[in-house]
Structure 1
Amino acid sequence: MMGGAVVHLYLTHPQVRIDPAVPVPLWSLSQEGRARVEGLARAPWVRRFGRIVASEEAKAREAAEVLGVALGLPVEVRPGLHENDRSATGFLPPKEFEAVAEAFFARSDESVRGWETARAAQARVLGAVRGVLAEVPTTPTLFVGHGAVGTLLKCALAGRAISRREDQPAGGGNHLGFTAGPDAVLWDWRPMEEGPWGGSRPDESP
């Protein structure tokens, strides 16, 4: 706990195998991404979490399962935590994807090229997270999900406007800490290689 509040973690999956022939929700972790999660699973501070909840998408489930095995915890796969729905376009080349992603955040109430709106995705993931926490509010929970909806969640919890300036650093595999109360965001995006204290005290719990 931090100041008496139960601390939860939102972790984004790290690097994936990009395959234009495979639907994005079915992409798996790359070797680099899996190695990063395995490293995180060895960090003592992660053991403070008593519950692991993952998105239905393959890459998030894979990351959660690595952590679950290491921590001796079952992985709960829940609906509503998936990445923003981009099925209208499917895979986009990086330059084109970046342009559409910029518009997604900038025009949060509009469906950009058929994508789920940022506002709708934010309401969905916030509702899913709150629903999970309401079940066992005293258990520190580790969520494993995705970058865009994680950013939208952070904006909602912090009471900030939706903006890509709030997005995680490139490459994924970042975490933020939060509580269920006011001033909910305890620390902003940090690489999974760093603990809650920014790497200076990686072995300690938040």
Structure 2
Amino acid sequence: MRALYVTHPQVQLDPDVPVPQWGLSGEGRGRAEALAARGVVPEGAWIFSSDERKAMELADILAATIGGVVRTDPLMGENDRSATGFLPPAEFEAHADCFFAAPEVSVGGWERAIDAQSRIVRAVAAALGNVPDDVPVVFCGHGAVGTLLKCHVAGRPIHRGEDQRRQAHSGGGNCFSFDLFRKQLGSEWTLMEAFAPDWFVAPVAAPGQLL
């Protein structure tokens, strides 16, 4: 079943607010609205989202365009970083490097990458299992777990080089298409501005290949 994974674009950073409660910034909201206006989400699509505010705001914007509903699942949330809370950018990047480099290790108390990967794969598989055949599906989520999902689908080891920050916009707002059950990746991380509205009808690449 063909699906699209979209990460939330830029957020309003606030060290005094728990990260899961951060919302989209003005720039991020503008990018999400532009994506919705371009018709990338087909009529009749099912939209799933993490229950974190920034992902839900993205999902709501996309759903409003097609008159759809958003189905939320806390298991689709970003890797749990509550042990450290907000980190300054340089310190966060150092932790993220270690998170991807040592997936079986808890970095500073963060959820291990292998555990976050297992969680997001299970959640996406469960969601897809409830969707009728030939219905397009859009997942609104986050960079780290999205990357872990992409690695699983592509049959690649967990690596920071697979991260959206390395392949597309460092502030988020990126997409990739995939077929989880066939283990086929339709694209690498791609800017939401560059993702074509015909993503669902386009053929999926064969294993080991990309469109």
**Which of 139, 144, 154 does residue 143 from structure 1 map onto?**
139
**1:78 CA drift (Å):** 1.1
- Structure 2 counterpart of 1:204, one-letter code: D
CA distance in 2 between counterparts of 1:203 and 1:120 reads 33
**1:180 CA drift (Å):** 3.0
Which residue in the other structure is 2:154 paired with?
158
Give matches, 1:3-18, under 5 Å: 6-18=1-13
Which residue in the other structure is 1:103 paired with?
98
CA distance in 2 between counterparts of 1:59 and 1:194 reads 21
Q: 1:55-83 deviations in whole A, cap 9, x for unaligned?
A: 00000000100111111100111121000
Contact 1:108 1:118 in 2 (8 A): yes
| Structure 2: runs of 5 or more not aligned | 203-211
**1:88 CA drift (Å):** 0.2
| Structure 1: runs of 5 or more not aligned | 1-5, 196-201
State the TM-score, normalized to the length of structure 1.
Answer: 0.91
Which residue in the other structure is 1:123 paired with?
118
Which residue in the other structure is 1:3 paired with?
none
Contact 1:155 1:162 in 2 (8 A): yes
CA distance in 1 between counterparts of 2:76 and 2:163 reads 17
Q: What's the secondary structure of 2:41's corresponding residue? A: helix
Which residue in the other structure is 1:198 paired with?
none
**Aligned residues: percent identity?**
50
Which residue in the other structure is 2:16 paired with?
21
Q: What's the secondary structure of 1:177's corresponding residue? A: strand
**1:182 CA drift (Å):** 2.8
- Structure 2 counterpart of 1:187, one-letter code: S
Contact 2:43 2:66 in 1 (8 A): no
Q: 1:158-204 deviations in whole A, cap 9, x for unaligned?
A: 11000010000311000000013334211111111112xxxxxx343
- Structure 1 counterpart of 2:198, one-letter code: E
Q: What's the secondary structure of 1:156's corresponding residue? A: helix
Contact 1:49 1:142 in 2 (8 A): no
Q: 1:7-32 deviations in whole A, cap 9, x for unaligned?
A: 20000000000000000000000000
Which residue in the other structure is 1:73 paired with?
68
CA distance in 1 between counterparts of 2:72 and 2:2 reads 20
* Cα RMSD for the two superposed structures: 1.2
- Structure 2 counterpart of 1:66, one-letter code: I
**1:49 CA drift (Å):** 5.7
- Structure 1 counterpart of 2:145, one-letter code: V
- Structure 2 counterpart of 1:182, one-letter code: R
Contact 1:37 1:66 in 2 (8 A): yes
Whether 1:181 and 2:181 are equivalent positions in the alignment is yes
| Number of residue pairs the alignment of both structures matches | 195
Which residue in the other structure is 1:61 paired with?
56
Runs (4 or more) in structure 1 with deviation over 4 Å come to none
